[in-house]
Amino acid sequence: MPELKGWKDIPIGGLIVEAGNAVEYMTGGWRAFRPVRDATKCIHCLMCWVFCPDSSIMIQDSQMAGFDLDHCKGCGICAAQCPTQCIEMVEEGRIED
């Protein structure tokens, strides 16, 4: 957590004057269910990338490469629309890191 600034040191009106700083907000902390992919079943159609509302599908060489877990909120849209059902939403408490 960055140090919080006082009222004299922040832009007035609640303005955000730095572009693209949403990336610094780790929304992955909200997640209750984590998407887990079975790479052997994935056909790299990238429908998950199209639907992900948080741009949390990582792509490498036009292939599905994994999830950005710092920002994935665990909404499950990727799992719901996956044509091969290769994504499973697993409760965070059951995940062994």
Partner 1 sequence: MREYLAIDGNTAIATAMRQINPDVVAAYPITPQTSTVQTFSQFVADGLVDTEFVTVESEHSAMSACVGAAAAGARVMTATSSAGLALMWEIVYVAASNRLPIVMLVVNRALSAPINIHCDHSDSMGARDAGWIQIFSENPQESYDNMIQAVRIAEHPDVLLPVMVCHDGFITSHGLERVEIFDEGEVRDFIGTYKPQMPTLLDIDNPVTYGPLDFYDYYYEHKRQQVEAMRHAKPVIIEVGREFGRKFGRSYSLFETHCLEDAEVAIVVLSSTAGTTRVMVDRLRAQGLKVGLLKPRVFRPFPAQELVEALSHVKAIGVMDRSISFGSMNNAGPLFLELCAALKIYGGDMPIVDYVFGLGGRDIVPSQIEQVAHELLKIAETGERGEVVRYLGVRE
Residues binding partner 1 (CB under 8 A): 4-7, 10-17, 19
Rank residues 9 and 97 by Cβ distance to partner 1 and give the closer one: 9
Residue 15 beta carbon to partner 1: minimum distance, rounded to whole angstroms: 6
15 or 61: CB nearest partner 1:
15
Q: By C-beta, is 3 or 96 nearer to partner 1?
A: 3
Are the CB atoms for 94 and 64 separated by under 8 Å? no
**What is the number of other CB atoms lying within 10 angstroms of the CB of residue 73?**
17
DSSP reduced 3-state for 56: coil
Report the chain's C-alpha Rg in angstroms.
17
